Amino acid sequence: MKTFRARVLDPRTIIPAVIAFGLLGAVLAVGDPAKVWALTMRAGWPAIALVGGLTVPYLAARGLVWRQLLAQQGARVPMPTFLVAFAAGEFAKDLPGGAYVEDYLLSRASVPVAKSVTATTALSALEAIFALPFVLVWGVPGWPWLRPAIEAILAAYVVMIALLWFLTGAGNAQSRRTHSGALQPALHSVQGFLKEARHLVAWRTIRENLLPTAVYCGIVLFDILLLGRTVGARGLGVREAAVVFGFITLSLVLLPIPTSLGVTEASGVGALVAFGASPAEAVAILLLLRVLLTGTTMFLTGLVMLSLWGRLPRDLSAAAHEGESPRADEHAIVPATTCNECRVDP
């Protein structure tokens, strides 16, 4: 078990933290802090209450999708264990690797890591499927490079997945001989992930989960629109809010940056300014979204964890309390594309 100091000094913690705070610093430098503060103070209690209240169906829909993706792979989890694992993941999702806290907790409840990680990654893929048309069809003004860049990144992911599928293919003895040694453990882990992913690469996955995905993504889209009008951003309509949401989502899902903190703000501010918002307005919108949506999420999920903690299996509650690092598992893999937050997660 790592000590607290060892965890803090771990490069896997330091590097994402440096990236996150660097991006946040750059975002804050774009807008005049005094103007940003004045604009955020325009958010009255009705707007705050509406964003906070909509966080309940937002979390419910996200939890429903994740549970259905687990069930589609044959993973049956008792409801108290599922709720605590999901709540812990939502609570910690903005921390480095926080999106996979839920996967580790489920692994302590005898759910293979490959199944839960596959479900978490599939959830991000569904978010990208929902967001992609907004960006490709409407685009961002003055960004002619955006569509070719997205197409190139998607093509690169397809090639990478196809290559990994070939290298880890069952019965491919030549592949095992060629990559024996140092690469073999990594390829074996990838094989476990791809094996589980086959259960979700189906029309059924989209048919059964796209509607609840659209519900919670639509809530974030509405939050952006509401907060934009609250701070007085002119020209921010439904279409513009949809593209901003889509660009944030694709940035979180497609870019291999191990944190959503800072990425959400930087990508969102860039898109909002391109649509005509002032830098101060754009920063104010994203900061309000971060504080209200993330703050309400942490409050609600914290209540869930506290209320159900006593009903957890002993090994699961002990693992969560001690904060152990996930142990190596022959089926475990953290994909290159992480959830990060939404993902739509601010």
**pLDDT more than 90, % of the chain:** 40
Q: Which pTM value belongs to this model? A: 0.80
- In this structure, what token pair is assigned to residue 30? 């774009």
What pLDDT is stored for residue 336 in this prediction? 41
Yes or no: say if 122 and 64 are a contact pair by the CB < 8 Å rule: no
Query: Residue 18: which pLDDT band, with cuts at 50, 70 and 90?
Result: low
Reported as a pLDDT band with limits 50, 70 and 90, residue 142 is very high
Pairwise CA distance, residues 297 & 56, whole Å: 8
Q: Measured between alpha carbons, how far is 258 from 281 in angstroms, rounded to an integer?
A: 27
Q: Are 99 and 341 in contact (CB under 8 A)?
A: yes
Q: Higher confidence at residue 326 or residue 68? A: 68
Exposure string of 313-323, with b = 16+ CB inside 10 Å and e = fewer, is eeebbebbeee
Residue with tokens 């506290």: 306
- If one counts the domains in the chain, the total is 1
Please list, in sequence order, all residues whose beta carbon lies within 8 angstroms of the beta carbon of residue 320, skipping any fewer than 6 positions away.
84, 88, 105, 108, 312
- How would residue 334 be classed by pLDDT, with cut points 50, 70 and 90? very low
Average the pLDDT over 235-240 and give the result: 92
Contact 309, 50 (CB under 8 A): no
Give the single-character DSSP code of 327.
P
Instruction: Confirm whether 334 is domain-assigned.
Output: no
In a domain, 208, yes or no: yes
In eight-state DSSP terms, residue 293 is: I
Average pLDDT rounded to a whole number, residues 165-188: 53
Residue 3 region by backbone torsions, left for phi larger than 0, else alpha for psi between -120 and 50, else beta: beta
Provide the domain limits for residue 13: 4-322
Query: What confidence tens digit (pLDDT) does each residue in 83-123 have?
Result: 998 998 898 887 766 666 777 788 777 787 778 888 888 89
Per the domain annotation, does 170 fall within a domain? yes
Q: What is the 3-state secondary structure (H, E, C) of 94-125?
A: CCCCHHHHHHHHHHCCCCCHHHHHHHHHHHHH
Establish if 35 belongs to a structural domain: yes
Given the structure tokens 């504080």, which residue do they identify? 291
> By the 8 A CB rule, do 235 and 276 touch?
yes
- Rounded mean pLDDT, 267-283: 93
In this predicted structure, the answer to whether residue 48 has a pLDDT above a threshold of 70 is yes
* Confidence band, pLDDT 50/70/90 cuts, at residue 173: very low
End-to-end distance of the chain based on CA atoms, in angstroms?
31
Task: Render pLDDT for 190-223 as a digit per residue (tens, 0 to 9).
Answer: 666 666 666 677 788 888 899 999 999 999 999 9
